[in-house]
Chains A and B, each alone.
Chain A
């Protein structure tokens, strides 16, 4: 990457992001953002990381996974237990990393046998895996069983949310726009053709799945540290479905779609708070309506960057290969 596009990326993507960061920070300091709103922002950030990482597996690599909440649980418990023992920023960072790596390891171990096969074996395996994780957590002594872990030090704040969410999206985007990501996308497009041109499809699938599991675990760590109370039932099957809904709604194979869908759903559920009784019915109805009119998801497999603004500054046409 040469100097010019980098400057443009900074202008078109860095500046709006920084503005967002400052606005929320100011809102928090001026008391304009109350606890309730901050909890919504927290959920939103966690959902973005979850959706983007699941999209890597399902949308970009084409492997249907139904157990993302399982990875979230591993990350949440790892971060929770480690920060209870070591309630410092260092403990928090160690917790997040251990949670992510442990999720990645479990993902790797479950992915290796199932992803060698063609077809949707992964969906069944991950469905089972997430349940196993939940049941194990329910019965282990040091995780405090079904009662859950309470009193996790709240080390997550807006700074961390910003860094971890933006960082995760950038890292996953970088991955997708590298040879590793292109191998994964080739598998989704046509597995037989990909093999025939030398792509090690098993490796590509397992790698995507492992990376997706890592970020799923990271999101779990973010959750545990902000909401300071976790129990196994938080990470049940419905949570996996919630994440999948965001991914499908945003568009399989569109990172910006996942981000937009996560934001949209956060807004919808906030607005629907006032209809306590009808909330879930209205939520489901909205989903049905959106899927009827946009079956490919809000973004399909396209991306928007903030290039709309970029075109105001630039003179030469967009860099080849950037838009897909």
Chain B
């Protein structure tokens, strides 16, 4: 199994605080890996460094697609996205005033270009491309169970649907690596169970490699093949769910010293 992502000695300082320091992490193609840790451990910072929201202070991020290796550290988010890394956000970031369909279309249209003249004058490429974008977006929405809500404003969706829409929007960018930041946050057990099934299904259907940040341990333990545990910006443990669960440093980080 070849690596799709190799992170080496990744460090990010904010002023005097090392939010992430010397993190090594690798993802094999097709793997589903969990990234867990207490609040403030630096999990989301790792995602933000990966996707170019801010540049790393030091360290390397190597992403491989079609046997081509690309260094992601310090690239702009849209470049990272087009390279094949999709993501969702911990605090959902939808285009709330736009419709469900438009949310997905904006992501999808990045792979469907037509000229500025075609925009202004509604030339044939405009109609053709728009129809294709709409059709593909609707297919994706159908897959996520959102087809009937295509014309609703994103802000009016129930919370769980908003999470689903964010995943649909990330998938519309056609990623090979998907970063999910707490997709089950705020969901009830039934919704979480449904999400668990969905993640597994999408993984096979789209041939995805997934890195998952999640606080719901039952979800993480159930679907992740390997887990990295982050605490105070440092990887304190990694391995299979069983290994991680038994690791005394992990128990200490989660439950405090006296446990």
Binding site for B on A (CB under 8 A): 1, 171, 174-175, 178-183, 185-186, 189-190, 192-201, 207, 253, 301, 320-321, 324
Is the CB–CB distance between B97 and A301 below 8 Å?
yes
Q: Which B residues are in CB contact (< 8 Å) with A198?
A: 78, 81-82, 107, 110, 173
Q: What is the total number of residues of chain B having a CB less than 8 Å from a CB of chain A?
A: 46
Using known A-B contacts A1-B127, A195-B76, A196-B77, determine if residue A185 contacts B119 with beta carbons closer than 8 Å: no
Q: List the one stretch of B2-10, B55-63, B88-96, B218-226 in contact with chain A.
A: B88-96
Across the interface, do A174 and B110 meet the contact criterion of CB distance under 8 Å? Answer: no
Q: A1-B122, A174-B120, A179-B114 are in contact. Are A195 and B78 (CB under 8 A)?
A: yes
Taken together as a complex, chains A and B put the C-alpha atoms of A141 and B4 apart, in Å, by 64
Which 10 residue pairs spanning A and B have beta carbons closest together? Answer: A178-B119, A195-B77, A189-B95, A193-B93, A198-B110, A198-B81, A197-B107, A179-B109, A186-B106, A195-B78
Q: Is the CB of B112 within 8 A of A179?
A: yes
Among B87, B113, B127, B129, point to the contact of A196 (Cβ < 8 A): B87
Instruction: List 5 additional contacts besides A171-B121, A179-B114, A193-B94; criterion CB under 8 Å.
Output: A179-B133, A189-B96, A197-B172, A198-B82, A320-B151
> Given A194-B106, A198-B107, is A179 in contact with B172 using a C-beta cutoff of 8 Å?
no
Whether B170 sits at the interface, judged by CB under 8 Å, is: yes
Separation in Å of the A156 CB from the closest CB of chain B? 23
Task: Please name 30 pairs of A and B residues whose Cβ atoms are closer than 8 Å in the assembled complex, sorted by A.
Answer: A171-B120, A175-B120, A178-B114, A178-B130, A179-B114, A179-B129, A180-B116, A180-B119, A183-B109, A185-B95, A190-B93, A192-B77, A192-B93, A194-B95, A195-B78, A196-B78, A197-B86, A197-B169, A198-B78, A198-B81, A198-B107, A198-B173, A199-B78, A320-B101, A320-B150, A321-B99, A321-B102, A321-B134, A324-B97, A324-B99
A-B contact count (CB 8 A): 102
How close is A296's CB to chain B, nearest CB, in angstroms?
12
Q: B18 contacts which chain A residues (CB < 8 A)?
A: none
- Given known pairs A192-B93, A193-B95, the reply for A182 and B102 (CB within 8 Å) is yes
CB of B98 closer than 8 Å to a CB of A: yes
Whether B97 lies near A201 (C-beta < 8 A) is no
